[in-house]
Amino acid sequence: MTKAEEMLDIMLDFSKERDCLLGVCGAEPVEGAAFRVGGRKPPFASRPIDERLDPQLYLKGAKSVLAIGVPFGESLLPASDGGRTGYVCSMASGEDYHGRVKGMLTELRDMLLEKHGFRSIILVDSGALLEKEWAVKAGLGFWGKNCIVVSPGKGSFFNIGLMLLDAAVKNRHAISGGISCGSCRRCIDACPTGALSGDGYILDYSRCLSYLTQKKTLDEEEEEMLGGHLYGCDECQRACPWNKPGSTWVEKAKAAHVSLEWVSRMGEEEFEMTFKRTSAGWRGIETLRRSAWSMLKR
Ligand code: SF4
Ligand code: SF4
């Protein structure tokens, strides 16, 4: 068995044991990525697009990119016991995924290093490479019209983490080759703000609730667009037929409905005990309070 084959076997065993998606591909830049990202770059993506496409900028001599997809964690937020509620999307209501995904990749890297030497770098939402592009290239799923990676086996409720390696490893088979959205447009029709329009595949971040609920200041029109969304939005994923009701990863991906009254008056200590532990915590208490007040005044 070659070094590459042995490494691939360790990776595949790990993904089975840890119930995550895993794929690995060559590190040549992804074709067509600049088009999919479109002219509208979210302000959180601080680096220029072309700097986010080339693994060599992050690991000189990179030969492979490994991508994993880890299901969302269960909600840590207290359910409302009455009154008006705000929606916290399923990605954000559970334990902060950055540490969880990075921990898994570190564990896998250590297992690989016990057998073979290589250099690597782990990237989880670090603002560096475009994770979704690499997840598709590595074979985790296909590009949905909602601009989210859809796995034919698991759906789309998962977080992505990447490891760049200077060892050449590749999938033995294409994991999801040939599958696409076809004529479906359920996500486009389900989007409450028109952030997905036309034939999909391009997202207008300035209208997307995932972006708006994280934005520090909102104008009147943007406040109106929040509807009942306190943080994030799942509508285009819930509408997707690949997220089959009853399947394990979809069942895990529970959104939270929290009391707006509670959030609007939440103190630092309560924030630390609740939101700060989740993926909705990074933007801080003020943004959450602001959104809660915006909704309560309407
Ligand atoms: S997350 Fe919500 S607002 Fe954004 S594209 Fe999907 S449905 Fe539309
Ligand atoms: S809802 Fe339909 S069009 Fe949208 S991502 Fe899912 S399969 Fe594709």
pLDDT band at 173 (very low <50, low <70, confident <90, very high): confident
40 compared with 235, residue with greater pLDDT = 235
196 Cβ closer than 6 Å to some ligand 2 atom? no
The answer to whether the CB of 187 is under 6 A from ligand 2 is: yes
Which of 147, 233, 234 to mutate to test ligand 1, by most ligand atoms within 8 A of the CB atom? 233
- 296 by Cβ neighbours in 10 Å (0-12 / 13-18 / 19+) ranks as middle
Res 128: pLDDT:
73
Q: In which residue are the tokens 């898994």 written?
A: 104
SS3 category, 174: coil
With beta carbons less than 8 A apart as the criterion, state whether 152 and 141 touch.
Answer: yes
**Which of 40, 88, 143, 191 has most ligand 1 atoms within 8 Å of its beta carbon, as the pocket-test mutant?**
191
The residue contributing the CA closest to ligand 2 atom 8 is 181
Bridge partners of residue 21, in order along the sequence: 69
> Which ligand 2 atom is nearest residue 186's CA?
1
Q: How far apart are the first and last CA of the chain?
A: 65
Catalytic residue among 19, 96, 110, 125: 125
Share of the chain above pLDDT 70, in %: 92
Dist CA 19 CA 13 (whole Å): 10
Kindly tell me if the per-residue pLDDT of 175 is higher than 70: no
pTM: 0.93
> Which DSSP helix (H) or strand (E) runs through 37?
helix 33-37
- Ligand 1 in reach of 235 Cβ (< 6 A): yes
Q: Is 239 in the pocket of ligand 2 (CB under 6 A)?
A: yes
60 to 27, 173, 236: CA distances (angstroms) = 11, 27, 37
19 is catalytic: no
- Work out the percent of the chain whose per-residue pLDDT is above 90: 79
Parallel, antiparallel, or unpaired for β 120-123 and 256-259?
unpaired
What does residue 87 show for φ and ψ, rounded to 5 degrees? -90, 130
Residue 37's pLDDT band, with cuts at 50, 70 and 90, is: low
Ligand 1 pocket residue status of 210, Cβ below 6 Å: yes
**pLDDT value of position 39:** 45
Give residue 234 CA to ligand 1 midpoint distance, Å: 7
Please say whether the beta carbons of 296 and 263 come within 8 A: no
Is pLDDT at 170 greater than 80 in this prediction?
yes
Question: Mutate which of 132, 142, 148, 181 to test ligand 2's pocket (most atoms within 8 Å of Cβ)?
Answer: 181
pLDDT exceeds 60 at position 35: no
pLDDT of the residue at 43: 57
Report whether residue 190 contacts ligand 2, using a CB cutoff of 6 Å: no
> Is the minimum distance from the CB of 144 to ligand 2 under 6 angstroms?
yes
Name the E strands within the chain.
21-26, 64-71, 85-88, 120-123, 142-143, 149-150, 158-165, 229-231, 256-259
d(CA 140, CA 134): 9
Mean pLDDT value across the chain:
91
Reported as a single tens digit per residue, the pLDDT across 202-219 is 899 899 999 999 999 999
Euclidean distance between CA atoms 1 and 3, whole angstroms: 7
How many Å lie between the centroid of ligand 2 and the Cα of residue 12?
Answer: 28
Task: State pLDDT tens for residues 117-129.
Answer: 999 999 999 867 8
Domain ranges of the chain: 3-72+96-165, 186-296
For the segment 263-273, what is each residue's pLDDT rounded down to a tens digit?
999 999 999 99
Q: Which atom of ligand 1 is nearest to the CA of 196?
A: 5
